[in-house]
Amino acid sequence: MTLNSEISGLIRDYRPRLPYRRWAPVADQVRATVAAAAPATCYEVRRLLYAVGRLAVWADSGGLPRDPGLWLRTETIDAFVLSGCPDLEGSTVQTCRTWLRRTREALVWVERGEAPPVRIASPRSPQPPYEEGELARLRDWAGHLPGRARLDGLALMALGAGCGLTSGELRQVRGHHIDTTSGVPVLDEDLLGRLVACRAGWSVVLAELADTAGEGYLFRPGRKVTAAKNLVSSWPSRHRPSGGLPPLSARRLRSTWIVGLLAEGISPSVVAAAAGMSSPAGLAPYHQWVPPLPRKEVIRLLHGHRR
């Protein structure tokens, strides 16, 4: 399978946030490895570049031969995960390991001239989005919680409804992972493996939370365990809104974000990429909640006008 010009350009122009002297010796081999493996995986090229690039720099600094076949051996990947990722959280390290293993599998299948194996999975159905009135009332409720609970509630909503992060992703975000220099809060691409900009309605809240958090986590910074299994889900169970409002849910906040973008006519390919999906096909379950366009708008669009 031939890579399109956009993907080829991403691979060619990729530059990690590492000193050039460490990246340059392995750069060409990393790019060639990702170019060969990308068509046979379901992962975004940015994720593969990030994972393979970190692995290659770590292996090279340890004196291992500059050989992608050696880098991607199971024992090398495991050693990298155990000792080469001190700056990454536990869940991010495990995700990185998965990307590297899939890259290795893809290369093996490519070398054999066969298609990659089909991975059978049964993804959970998305939860329905919050209604507009519910979200506004939940935001008001969270904004009136006392002390730390207020910051945690707003962080959960800003990262979920404002950025579409999953529960596993939002618990990793620290203040310095949010760049506000352009006036639009943009999340660290190296952390997520994709580009995510905060929705306008949550920009001020997220920027203030990032400034308050600094080097600490935005959500539940006082945690004793970095990636506790129920870190996100346990918060709504302890803080239940009154007045008949539904509890906060990271999955429902993410659904609200996705459906809101689709309802505004934003390209499904852009939404899917920002949501961390391999293709717009992953958005299919969410279309049931996207309201239909008014008849006049449909006619206008079909006539040739853009939204």
State how far the Cα of 192 lies from the Cα of 176, in Å rounded to an integer. Answer: 14
Contact 231, 182 (CB under 8 A): no
Closest CA to 202 of 256, 243, 155, 158: 158
**pTM of the predicted model as reported, rounded to 2 decimal places:** 0.62
CA distances from 162 to 114, 149, 230 (A): 41, 18, 22
Question: 206 by DSSP, 3-state: which?
Answer: helix
CA distances from 124 to 59, 205, 251, 282 (A): 37, 30, 10, 12
pLDDT tens, residue order, the chain (307 aa) = 456 677 777 888 888 878 888 899 999 999 888 888 776 565 577 888 888 988 999 888 888 888 888 888 888 888 887 776 666 665 677 778 888 888 887 776 555 454 444 444 444 678 999 998 999 999 999 999 999 999 999 999 999 999 999 988 898 899 999 999 999 999 999 888 899 999 999 999 999 999 999 999 999 997 766 666 678 888 998 999 988 899 999 999 999 999 999 999 899 999 999 999 888 888 999 999 999 888 998 888 888 877 6
